[in-house]
A and B are shown apart, each in its own frame.
Chain A
């Protein structure tokens, strides 16, 4: 039976992945029901154990490949008949974890048990050198369990998120976190430090704009050795909105002549090339088409909208979106474009900024959010997951949209207001 469920799950994901702009609602009952059991040593703090449990259950739910039980269950690591079958709960799978501490290391042993047969299908040991990072251990376990059943990858859960949050007037901090905000570490504080963006796929360095010197300045921080290098300064404003695939070129919004335009900066030769030359607003450049073109936001029609342009300067400007009168931020992944659009002309409307997904290959437009201010969308490394900022009723949250499952999840920030994100 579970074989069939998994086969349907895998096949349906492949089919649905053909066009993410088509809204898909999967039947919940086709997903395997999974229970999570805590078999940790008693000397491990119960608060940590429960947090660990909660993140694992949350990850299983966000994966959209499982139906997790929310009930916190304890068991011995070997288990007995009652522990290994859970027949009363109608469970298909059991994920049992055992945490233990060894000096500063957090160790975890994890079993995946077939609840119908009681057979252990896989068992893995993990070692985490810094126990503060336990949310990443939980994510790793769920990614492995997901892989073990052959479901589409959710490896994006292990990506580091970097974001800036406003903490006061002209005050912000840059923070690295996991996607649930369960782990947070402040990287830059003091003054106005904004628009952090990862410098490479390995997430070993990042760029950010500092508004604390005479001119807005872009810095690069290398996390492997802690060095900080100045990249470039500009009058007026300076934002790094995208990094090329090979990490050698940046798309910058800057205003060296008091005029905001998009520039490409080649890090190898320290060469700056102006890409847009419109006397209004051009911002938020994103590389597309193997870094030969950009998509960007411009008010050249009298309102913010989305356009594309070749970097070589020979090709014309193409309008990419024909819906909405205030499309103010955009992100791309392959042929897909996700953008934030203001839905009502009144600033008091119940519908405000919503996210939309379009494909350059089809005419479909898919609305991804329904209320609040949903801005700054960013694709994960795969096309199936989008992160965004949601402002709703004075609460600032990170949002996750699982496109193929048609589900979204919010992770509220306790203090501050999220300014920008990257992952």
Chain B
């Protein structure tokens, strides 16, 4: 008899309690701030307190804004200055500033230390290409931003005005999969904040 020796033939009723435990009703208690939409696994609730991803650009940075500057004037000034600031590019898997990028850093220092920019804060954003694991890429982007911040400090820009952040590979300027594109994404760029 080729009968399998198996476990019981009985009938069991199984409730999928493991799944149904995940029954959250997300309580978004944060006040006065837009926050991410968080759903529960059952898809019953979706509180839309949607965080604005640009909040990082505008909250809590030291503000030396003079009262007479209205918002539009500051926006125009920032847009004008940012248009003059070129990205600083890096080699694959490197965070040292290349020789050909040093003039770009020097030019950036001149603009950032100039009278018009003096009252603005500077966000130095590091970025990486799509290669490698993202956690390492976030660290790589941060090292790039740190190198640029340090170099700007040496060139006279107050480090108190600068904060660094890395976006890893999450903020590409080019999404094609080729060498030119990857080079464009391995970069540090600046955002100015009131």
Encoded as 1 (CB less than 8 Å from any B CB) or 0, chain A from 395 to 419 comes to 0000000000000000000000001
Chain B residues within 8 Å of A, Cβ to Cβ:
1-16, 18-30, 33, 35-43, 45, 50-53, 55-56, 59-61, 92-93, 130-136, 138-143, 145-146, 149, 163-172, 177, 179, 182
Cross-chain contact B139 with A169 (CB below 8 angstroms): no
Q: Is the CB of B2 within 8 A of A304?
A: no
Q: How far is the CA of A282 from the CA of B60 in the complex (A)?
A: 28
Pick the residue among A133, A188, A223, A342 that contacts B36 (CB under 8 A). A188
- Interchain CB contact under 8 A, A223 and B52: no
Contact A122 B172 (CB under 8 A): no
11 contacts between A and B (CB under 8 A): A140-B14, A149-B6, A189-B36, A191-B36, A213-B51, A213-B56, A224-B22, A281-B139, A283-B136, A304-B132, A342-B131
B135:A326 contact, CB within 8 angstroms:
no
Closest to A189 in B: B37
Given B14, B23, B169, which contacts A224 in the complex, CB threshold below 8 Å? B23
Q: Is A124 an interface residue (CB 8 A)?
A: yes
User: With contacts A170-B167, A204-B21, A228-B26 known, is A329 near B138, CB below 8 A?
Assistant: no
Q: Are A124 and B12 in contact (CB under 8 A)?
A: yes
Q: Provided the pairs A281-B136, A347-B179 are in contact, do residues A169 and B172 lie with their beta carbons within 8 angstroms?
A: yes
The chain A residue sitting closest to B38, CB to CB, is A188
Count, A-B residue pairs, CB within 8 A: 262
- Are A223 and B41 within 8 A (Cβ)? yes
Nearest-Cβ distance from residue B91 to partner chain A, whole angstroms: 11
- Interface hit among A8-16, A18-26, A254-262: A254-262
Is A348 interfacial (CB-CB < 8 Å)?
yes
* Given A127-B15, A169-B172, A171-B53, CB of A114 within 8 Å of CB of B4: yes
User: What is the bound-complex CA distance between A394 and B176, given in angstroms?
Assistant: 10
In the complex, residue of chain A having the shortest beta-carbon distance to the beta carbon of B48: A190
Q: Which of B4, B23, B132, B171 contacts A2 (CB 8 A)?
A: B4
Q: A260 with B143: in contact, given A119-B3, A170-B171, A187-B40 (CB under 8 Å)?
A: yes
- Chain A 230-259: CB-based contact to B (< 8 A → 1; otherwise 0): 000001110101000000000001010011
Which chain A residue lies CB-closest to B131? A347
A196-208 vs B, CB cutoff 8 Å, 1 = contact: the mask equals 0000001110000
Q: Does A308 contact B (CB under 8 A)?
A: no
**A409 to nearest B CB, angstroms?**
21
In the complex, what residues of B have CB within 8 A of residue A419's CB?
Answer: 134, 170
- Distance (whole angstroms) from the CB of A131 to the closest CB of chain B: 11
- Whether the Cβ atoms of B27 and A117 lie closer than 8 Å is no
Chain A residues within an 8 Å CB radius of B24: 221-227
Are the CB atoms of B132 and A328 closer together than 8 Å?
yes
In the bound assembly, the distance between CA atoms of A221 and B29 in angstroms comes to: 12
A337 interface residue per 8 A CB criterion: no
Distance between Cα atoms of A277 and B28 in the complex (Å): 37
Most buried by A among B21, B38, B139: B139
